[in-house]
Amino acid sequence: MTLLVLGISHRSAPISVLDVLSLDSAGIETLVNGALEGEYVSGITVLSTCNRLEVVADVSAFHGGLADIGSALVDAVGIEWNILAQHLYVHFETKAMEHLLNLATGLDSMALGESQILGQLRQAFIASQEENRLTGDLSHAIQQALRVGKRAHSETALDNVSQSLLDTALDSAVAHIGPLDQAKALVVGAGAMSGLTVATLQRVGVARITVINRTLEKAERLVAPVGGRAVAFDDEALVHEIADADLIISVTGARGVVLGRDEIVAGMQHDFDSQPRKFLVDLALPHDIAPDVEELPFVQLIGLEDLSTKFAEADHHSDSSVISVISEVRSIIKSEMKTLTAGKKARSIAPTVTALRAQAEETVALEFERLEKKLAGKVDDKALSEVRKSMARAVDKIIHTPTVRVKELSASDTGVDYAAALTTLFNLSSAQSPTAAAIDRTKIAVTAPGANQVQASDNHHVAADGLKPVADHTLDVVEPERFTGREIRLGTRRSQLARSQSTAIAQQIAAQTGWRVKIVEVVTEGDVNMTPLAQMGGTGVFVSAVRTALLTGKIDVAVHSLKDLPTAPAAGIALAAIPPRVDPSDVLIARDGLTLADLPAGSVVGTGSPRRAAQLRAVRPDIEVTGVRGNVGTRISHVYEGRLDAVVLAAAGVRRLGRLAEVTDVLEPPRMLPAPGQGALAVETRSAAAQLSELDSELRRALEAIHDETTALAVMCERSVLSRSEAGCSAPIGALAEVEGQTLTVTGVMADDDGRLTRVTRRRRLPASTEASREEVRHSALELGAEAADEMLAALGITIGGNAEANAPESQLDPRRALGPVQAKEVDGSGRR
């Protein structure tokens, strides 16, 4: 299950907005049916009260589920999404479950710790259950929330410090109408909230309770347990009951005013002498009682807006008993979340354990079959049967303790992926899990002209599924399965991403050649200088130190993100391989699960790229783009720690680090074109002219096996756009080329110094590999990129070699703020430690 909560409450919107968004039963039905008709929503329940709307759903994917529920909500309330999004909040997975627990205990309520919300959640759950709208997992999640809510009220003094909305209103009523044990109360309506109202009135000892409702049977069922009166609703009866009551509470949820000025005046005139004062409580959204009745003498009205103000003004912090109780409830929630999370982790390894047991059973079956054939006719069937049972028992005993223990360990917070460990140790099926399939983007297989096709199974390619890092970035040496006696040194930058992707390439080389690969970390200027890339010139800041180490013999092979490479060739350096490309898109990671379209105006989005900044401003001119540097983890932390509302990153890096689940929006073309070469890696060696030994030529030949010509043609075309424009890797230029059959298509975007964008798409049929050499096909790809660049330059009237920094973010997030107060002291003005 993937739990998602989309909601709006008094914490995220004013009462006036909640009034407009209040849903009657028909509205809830429209919302539920619309969401379930979507592709991604499997189960759903809706909680609608006077001060909140909560949609709790079981979805197969975050973005798809949010889109399905959002569309259904728009249809139900008739308000555009861009307006709704300003007040909505979204919680996902663990945060969604924690929100449910806070909701059920009343910690998220307008009335702190109120118990009414627990009953309302239970009624919403029962209604959804009766309509078969719940999945098993969603039912379990809500039942857990109900259990924890009940536990909080039974195990702590929460009921003693909590005040419901009605309790607060009744406190105010005493000053106007006198003691409640002498008051006669009239409840208008017989819905769910009316039931809670009747129970509250009985608890505080109101002298008499009357419920008036259009369906008399409902009113009778409501007052039967408290010995109250039930009256059928009509205009005459309403006036009579108003006259007889001194406390009137309306909570019908009807569309329009139920109690207007005329009805109140008529009721007061009917028997003014005996009941001169009326206290009215309006707990409905939309309003049941006309606001102008408060202008009448002897009448006092309190509504949700007034109650909201009272709670906002309440100072619970000065009451140590309240603080203590809230602390107890939060401890319960924390403990329950730990248990629930551990249980989920333990359940997550169940498919792997099942696969292990299935493999063991299959092994026993195959071995028994082999033994049976070998002993054919020599041993009777009874003996063979006993042998088979013994084999099965032996294997079962061997794997029993490890499988039990691994479930226990998975439930602990060790940070170890035990499912992956089991899969690797026992060589279990590598079929992609449903979770990975749900997150992964669709891929289209194409064949490049002139390409020497090498399948992943042949070149030991390490896939970036986005669920876990492509490789262990802490490894210093990658050992081959069958060592052939040779060791090479692979140079990489020091960031976790660089080391992870470089180690993945090292694993390919080791598996392909049998050589031991030693990982050598090289510190580059881009790693230690936090000056914006555009101001540093951009080109080569992550590359030159690694290339120097290569040319001087400190390393034998280097791995770079291809988009960081200068377009001009480097003396003595050979581009030996371009492995298969990972997702070239950009992605957004934003607070509260927001997409780019959903970010409120004025949101601060971080990126150090002039290309991204120019395209972001074109799509969302109402947001602020600020510069940000640092590794992927540092940039993401700026969002989680509140320094930024969102950050834009390369999807490939997020995938290779296994953090794809944190993405809130994929900025796919044409909305955002990537940097030329984004998502691809470059593997460099010394060229023939600079080689130090025969190892260099042997290494270049070996690396051909991990090369992907389809990727090479695409990125060469894209980088030709940069080269033709005489722009560096930080220039405001985006390009994406794709090969399909014999056709190469490139789409480019370019910005001038004022941020004006132009886009162009060009395509051409490439020479067939049977008719042309690889060099001729590549030359054709380079020509296409140059033509696209010429067209964009002409459209913008740009002189070649424009100012990349002109489109860079105007402000820069201080990197020292990301380090915290202690570490910040270790950084000088240049960003160096």
- C-alpha 321/C-alpha 325 separation (Å) is 6
H-run or E-run covering 85: none
- Cα–Cα distance for residue pair 166/730, rounded to 1 Å: 60
Active site residue 50: yes
Q: Is 776 annotated as a binding residue?
A: no
Instruction: Give the tokens for residue 713.
Output: 């043609």
Question: 3-state DSSP call for residue 763?
Answer: strand
Q: Please report the DSSP string for 399-429 in residue order.
A: HHHHHHHHHHHHHS-----HHHHHHHHTT--
Tokens of 515: 């050589």
Residues paired with residue 280 on neighbouring β-strands, in sequence order: 248, 301
Query: Is 52 within any annotated ligand binding site?
Result: yes
The token pair at 503 is 């180690």
Q: Which two tokens stand for residue 151?
A: 């536990």
Taking alpha carbons only, the member of 652, 629, 796 closest to residue 727 is: 796
CA 389 to chain centre: 48
Give the closest residue to 789 by CA, choosing from 749, 740, 736, 729: 749
Bridge-based pairing state of the strands 557-561 and 487-492? parallel
The phi and psi torsions of 152 (rounded to 5 degrees) equal -60, -40
Name residues whose C-beta falls within 8 Å of residue 499's C-beta, 6 or more positions apart in sequence.
Answer: 473, 474, 492, 493, 519, 521
**191 annotated to a ligand binding site:** yes
Exposure string for 513-527, b = 16+ CB within 10 A, e = fewer:
bebbbbbbbbebbbb
Confirm or deny that 49 is annotated as ligand binding: yes
Q: What angle do CA 244, 249, 253 make, to 5 degrees?
A: 130
* CA pair distance 542, 494, nearest whole angstrom: 10
Please state, in angstroms and rounded to a whole number, the distance separating the CA atoms of residues 426 and 359: 9
Answer positive or negative: Cα dihedral of 504, 505, 511, 517: negative
Q: Is 114 annotated as a binding residue?
A: yes
Q: Is 539 annotated as a binding residue?
A: no
Q: Which two tokens stand for residue 670?
A: 């044409």
Calpha distance 463→346 (Å, rounded): 26
In 10 A of CB 442, how many CB atoms? 4
Tell me: is residue 33 an annotated ligand-binding position.
Answer: no
Is 829 labelled a binding residue?
A: no
Residue 109 among known ligand-binding residues: yes
| Angle (nearest 5°) at CA 817 between 812 and 819 | 125
Which stretches within 412-531 are classed as H helix?
Answer: 418-425, 434-439, 456-459, 496-513, 525-528
Q: Which of 283, 310, 117 shows the shortest CA–CA distance to 194?
A: 283
DSSP string for residues in 702-740: HHGGG--HHHHHHHHHHHHHHHHHT--TTSSEEEEEEEE
115 marked among binding-site residues: yes
Is 412 assigned to a binding site?
Answer: no
* Residue 16 assigned as binding residue: no
In the set 50, 196, 283, 792, the catalytic residue is 50
Known binding residue 391? Answer is no
Write down the H helix ranges in 229-316.
235-244, 261-270, 304-313
For residues 466 and 654, give the distance between their C-alpha atoms in angstroms, rounded to a whole number: 7
Residue partners of 693: CB distance under 8 A and separation at least 6: none
DSSP letter for 798, please. P
Is 192 assigned to a binding site? yes
Which residue ranges are tagged as binding site? 49-52, 109, 114-116, 120, 189-194
- Residues with a known catalytic role: 50
Which residue ranges are tagged as binding site for NADP(+)? 189-194
Which residue ranges are tagged as binding site for substrate? 49-52, 109, 114-116, 120
